[in-house]
Amino acid sequence: MADESEPSKNGPQGQIDPITVAEIASIAKTRIKKEFWDYYECGADTQTVLHENEAAFKALKILPRVLRDVSKVDTSTTLFGRSYSVPFGFAPSAMQKLAGGEGEMDVARAAVKLGVNLTLSSQSTTSLEDVMSCKKKSSGGADPAFWMQLYLTKDPEKSVPLIKRAEAARYEALVLTVDTPVLGNRLNERKVPLVLPEGLHLANIEPSTHSPQTERKPTFNRRLMDSRTHEAAEAILKEAGGGTHSNSLTWETTLPFLRKAAPRMKIILKGIMTPEDAVLAVKYGADALVVSNHGGRQLDETSSTIEALPAIHAALATGSSELGKKNRIPVLFDGGVRHGADIFKALALGADFVLIGRPVLWGLGYKGQEGVETVINVLERELSRTMALAGVTNVEGITREYIGVKNVGGFGVSKL
């Protein structure tokens, strides 16, 4: 049996022709500069939850049903009234030009061409206006929604201009990351601080030009992460002047602030890991939430996202059917998705939509826009095949009845 970590070589004249996300990652690792690869791949502290995000999927087993007509499998879904051909989109990830190609522009072009939902990181290396121009220039692609990810700063008013720009550019939602009052303890980043190379900048935050005499430093948030004493941390906070991530957000103030700043945009909270916070998200008027542990880059001692998902779904579920209850607001999901079967499992356990993070970066590293499209197509084919083999013909039919879990001791499977 072929090792899925090694790329296939069945393309024209021996060219590498990856057919799995693992193979795409293997190629990308050889093409992305090591310090940037390490930045994207690292988690917090001992990186326990980083690995558990993937490993937890393996404890879940699909319970297939047979003798069902699966001649027509439909992977399409709707979200906020917009139709998508697949139930997954792109999670926000920072500084995509470090991965390869034209970074965010390649990702946006792929999203438009194949009709995939996209969330742009506020820490992108391409301006939000340029990314949105990919939709305006498209002549034959689909019309997926573009969303804007946001960190509120310690002085929240400093975030308002960026919010207004996103609203003016027709981004349809603000995705507020709520799990970063401070950055997690990312040891790789502390040992090799990330500094953008000449020619790149945080296009939504920094000016586009730097004086040759200006020393290029890690961001205030990264310098704060690496502070070795309380006094050093306080000095960085003072120097930042309210520009670091806010550590004083509250339910009572944050949602009203965003509604006032962007009255025409949906508000999505990214980083929900407990049913209690999911209920509060509904109470305070969020339009959707994302079950996410920041790809294992924040609190290392939390659970994997797929383990957190069922309780959150149970807290938000409405309706009479135990197997097919709907969430009161859309529940999105990210963390460790590497195969179409992972998407199936997340949908079965209560997600309405799935977001893909690192595989998009691997696609960029592999072959720019074409590489991102390859990732989308690989996952779509895997999901469609998984649905057919499980006996499911549409996304709404993917429910908890199809999922079992390995018994304690490792032998046997019980329904979850």
Residue 381, annotated ligand binder?
Answer: no
Q: What percent of the chain is modeled with pLDDT above 70?
A: 92
Residue 199, annotated ligand binder?
Answer: no
Alpha carbon separation from 22 to 5, 7, 217, 292, 362 (Å, rounded): 5, 8, 33, 22, 9
Residues in the chain: 416
DSSP label at residue 277 = H
Average pLDDT, the chain: 91
Distance of alpha carbon 161 from alpha carbon 148, whole angstroms: 13
Residue 165, annotated ligand binder?
Answer: no
Angle separating helix axes 251-261 and 160-168, nearest 10 degrees: 50
Q: Residue 212's pLDDT is what?
A: 46
Element housing 358 (H / E):
helix 358-390
Distance of alpha carbon 290 from alpha carbon 259, whole angstroms: 18
* Residues annotated as part of the active site: 294
Could you tell me the two tokens for 303? 């659970």
Q: Residue 220's pLDDT is what?
A: 85
Strand bridging mode 266-272 / 173-177: parallel
Strand bridging mode 403-406 / 413-415: antiparallel
Count Cβ atoms below 10 Å from residue 415 Cβ, excluding itself: 11
| Cα angle, residue 52 at apex, residues 344 and 118 outer, rounded to 5° | 50
Domains, the chain, in order of start with CATH, read 32-187+249-405 (3.20.20.70)
| 251: CB partners within 8 A, 6+ apart | 280, 283, 284
Residue 71, annotated ligand binder?
Answer: no
pTM comes to 0.93
Per residue in 353-391, pLDDT tens? 999 999 999 999 999 999 999 999 999 999 999 999 999
Strands, E assignment, 124-257: 146-150, 173-177
Could you tell me the two tokens for 72? 């027509």
Residue 94, annotated ligand binder?
Answer: yes
Confidence grade of residue 5 (pLDDT, cut at 50, 70, 90): low
Element housing 289 (H / E):
strand 288-291
Distance of CA 59 to the CA centre of its chain: 22
**pLDDT higher at 138 or 271:** 271
Residue 283, annotated ligand binder?
Answer: no
Alpha-carbon dihedral sign for residues 84, 88, 92, 94 = negative
Q: Match 């595989």 to its residue by tokens.
A: 359
Residue 243, annotated ligand binder?
Answer: no
Q: Residue 125's pLDDT is what?
A: 97
Confidence grade of residue 1 (pLDDT, cut at 50, 70, 90): very low
